[in-house]
Structure 1
Amino acid sequence: MKNIAFFCIPAFGHTNPLLPIARELVERGHHVRFYSFDLFKEKIESTKATYISCDRFLSSLTNKQEKKLKNISTTEMTIQSIHITIEMDSFLNEEFKKEKPDLIITDSACFWGKLSAMKYKIPYVVSTTTFAFNQLSSSYMKQSFKEVADIIFGLPKVSKELKKLEQYGYHVKNAISLVSSDNHTDTLVYTSKSFQPFAESFSSHYQFVGPSLFDHYTLDKHHERALIYISMGTIINERLDFYQKCIDCLQDEDVDIIISVGNNVPIEQLHFNKEKVHIYPSVNQLEVLSRANLFITHCGMNSVSESLYMATPMLLCPQTAEQRAVARRTKEIGAGIMLDDDIHSSAMKILHNPQFVSSAMQYRQDFISSGGVKKAVDYIEGAPYKKDEVDLIEELNKYNRKTKLIYWMIIILLIFLLKGKYGLIIGIIAFLCSFPVRKKLQMRKYDKMIKNY
């Protein structure tokens, strides 16, 4: 039996998939120590894992920092993660000396879990609660101007903080290397291979196990009135205006509505028909989705996975780049549509078109067959893995470097043949065209590669 250490950031969407896995490992006789935060203490202890509180390592936040974290600022999240890593360094040094973990399970966004595993040379498995993202699948993420600006203007701050890690024995190239997926790290992804964008580009170190769930409910979709469920997740959910707009647009229809608003929305300020609209701080989402005919969602990965698992089509309202990636894929498979300004017509379109239910049902079967918790634990028990296989991404990068060189050699030759005439114009046009041209060539190469391998 193994000594296994779990690490996760203080977020429900990242912690929840790890809980059924921790319980299954304990039931199989493994010793599990779960390093987390008091907000999740009760849930973790219910799995029979040993809970280790890390609250004392959290930094005191200013109002400005707290606001940035609530708005999913990549810069602020990175800086705070670095601070926690440094604060936990001496504590984890003593913990690892005493407990001697055989394996670390770390959330993909948990710097202190990943970096500690690397520093102490402990095998680790990454828990990925979004899609697995590499240079291909990340094309699904469309960042807003605000998100791009946050990253660009935050780079100097992040670089400064990263340098502090060196003196503690943590060697990091850049922040991207800490959060991106590579083909050499054992990784769990809580979706199916067919739902994952560009799944073929990921090596066999990746296990696509579908949703990690405690409970399973029988579908109950036939009601006198259709049931609409609305939730904006657990982070950016203080959307009083949005909830009221949904109520105003939908409550006069022949439907029932359940809304989960979180703990910070003043429910008494919402105006609604109490016979048809039911509003709660939180609900058992899986149980509600087993009955719902439509889910209006922020497109968090767990929410979308649970919705598909319960064959519930969706009206998609993403708020971050990762959520936009999940929304795009959900739309591609025909299980939902993007919300436009007309909530009523969008909702009615889904409720009155059985094709959306059919598509969601198809992926329900796909998710069920992916193996879930038991497959995830089987994979963990066999870790670490050593596999000799072709890395499609590395091969693709070699091809990209080659095509880039050839592309610019052709442009230089063209300018030379024209004796420099129109050189500036050709150069500008070549620069503007270089990305779309090389992207198209890359995709052609990728299609050939996946056929050959």
Structure 2
Amino acid sequence: MNPVTPPAHIAMFSIAAHGHVNPSLEVIRELVARGHRVTYAIPPVFAEKVAATGARPVPYTSTLPGPDADPEAWGTTLLDNVEPFLADAVQALPQLVEAYADDIPDLVLHDIASYPARVLAHRWGVPAISLSPNLVAWEGYEEEVAEPMWREPKQTERGRAYYARFEAWLTENGITQHPDPFAGRPARSLVLIPKALQPHADRVDERVHTFVGACQGNRADQGDWQRPAGAGKVVLVSLGSAFTKQPAFYRECVRAFGDLPGWHVVLQVGRHVTRAELGDVPDSVEVHDWVPQLAVLRQADLFVTHAGAGGSQEGLATATPMITVPQAADQFGNADMLQALGVARRFATEEATADRLRAAALALVDDPEVARRLKEIQAEMAQEGGTRRAADLIEAELPGRAGR
């Protein structure tokens, strides 16, 4: 028998974004169930969701755009995207230092976007584990992806100023590491996506990164969804929670699927599109700001998705064929991976016309090879361990525990 792990104080740190918080919640719930005291530093908008796991929310004020912010708030360039994270980290760190002054944890867990967590772990001298909700760097990533992407911004005055600010902040906190490996090369990482979604998985250092796959609970707290009687096929259309301001695309989806005999459409449009912007919507299409996505996918025949890491793995976990329409960030790479796996068709937003969407949908849902590949990947994912394995590996990193 393995010795019982003594209860510890484990502190999780994340940002206020669904795609960064949701993947960690079941792991946190499991750690609490095992008797650990877990605190979770998060802006107040997610405090209730965190508290439902049994962890104690540690609220802090963030300057990042909130989970329901207009996508345009993130800007359009690489520096537009990254500067807010550094600015937020600099202003959040003193808040978190004060919040944990008399309650230093035994171990730090952190989302990839939580720079203060890594600084705090260094200052406290405690282990830190990255919980990555999307792909991780492989051997050669810097040369193949990062350097070409950053070549031009690094030559600008603004880009040089960004790196100077980042390095100065790290130096102030006793960290000599360059910002690039600080942000992208953790000492220990649990990857909360299936290995099937990881590009160049054969070149990932698995001494650092352990793929535990999807950590999905029953999500009963998110509500349920029932397939309508008589629905021959159900398609879920969702561009996630952030980049949802696409009324023209939603209109194409209504045209593509709304009059297909026997088809029922669940259309999630987010908070920035009104029903009126969709035009005439037939009775076979239900329109929502938000849906309990996993509950719908468990009964769906097709998923039209932006290919975010969470949605992609939920599509794989439920063995649902996908049409991907990536909008930002890692979604383009995820869409490529899903298509290469033989379980999806990818379209750019401007290419996603009603005729193309309909043709792809009919081909996907009736293809036995797509169904076979999905079942195969679903079985592989089940072997990755998910929530329980993630918790086991976290406990193995607690001070005083040997091995991984």
Name the TM-score class by shorter chain. 0.7 to 0.9
Cα deviation, 1:376-403, whole Å, max 9, x if unaligned, reads 1111111158889xxxxxxxxxxxxxxx
Give the 3-state SS of the residue equivalent to 2:264 in structure 1: strand
Cα separation, 1, equivalents of 2:154 and 2:31:
38
Equivalent residue number for residue 92 of structure 2: 88
Aligned to 2:255: 248
Which position in structure 2 is the counterpart of 1:100? 104
Q: Shift in Å at residue 324 of structure 1?
A: 1.3
AA matched with 1:344: R
Task: Give the Cα separation in 1 of the matches to 2:206 and 2:65.
Answer: 40
Q: Identify the match of residue 197 of structure 1 among 185, 195, 199.
A: 199
1:143 shift after superposition: 11
CA distance in 2 between counterparts of 1:131 and 1:227 reads 29
1:37-436, aligned counterparts within 5 Å? 37-55=43-61, 57-58=62-63, 69-71=73-75, 73-136=77-140, 153=156, 154-166=158-170, 168-171=172-175, 173-181=177-185, 185-201=187-203, 202-215=205-218, 224-254=231-261, 255-339=263-347, 340-341=351-352, 342-383=356-397
- Residues 1:15 and 1:242: Cα distance change in structure 2 (over 3 Å): same
Other-structure match for 2:3: none
Distance 2:361 2:183 in 1: 36
> In the alignment, is the contact (CA less than 8 A) between 1:197 and 1:329 conserved in 2?
yes
> Bigger CA drift: 44-53 or 355-364?
355-364
User: Which residue pairs with 2:4 in the alignment?
Assistant: none
What's the offset of the Cα at 1:5? 0.7
Q: C-alpha deviations, 1:165-204, integer Å up to 9, x for none?
A: 046315354432233235xx22111123344233333223
Distance 1:311 1:30, change over 3 A: same
Q: Which structure dedicates a bigger proportion of its chain to helix?
A: 1
Shift in CA distance, 300/137, structure 1 to aligned 2, threshold 3 Å: farther
Instruction: Give the secondary structure class of the aligned counterpart of 1:16.
Output: helix
Root mean square deviation of aligned Cα: 3.2
Distance 1:319 1:161 in 2: 29
Counterpart Cα distance in 2 of 1:68 and 1:275: 32
TM-score (norm 1): 0.76
- Corresponding letter in the other structure for 2:257: L
CA shift for structure 1 position 73: 4.7
TM-score (norm 2): 0.84
Inter-CA distance 163–371: structure 2 relative to 1 (3 Å threshold): closer
AA partner of residue 251 (structure 1):
G
Question: Is the Cα contact below 8 Å between 1:82 and 1:165 reproduced in 2?
Answer: no
**Mapping for residues 16-55 of structure 1, pairs under 5 Å:** 16-55=22-61
Unaligned runs of 5+ in 1: 389-453
2:46 corresponds to which letter in structure 1?
F
Structure 2 residue identity aligned to 1:377: A
Letter in 1 for 2:49: K
Identify if the C-alpha distance between structure 1 residues 372 and 387 changes in structure 2 by more than 3 Å, giving closer, same or farther: closer
**Overall identity of the aligned pairs, in %:** 22
Q: Which has the larger radius of gyration?
A: 1
Once the two structures are TM-superposed, the CA of residue 265 in structure 1 deviates from its matched residue by 1.3
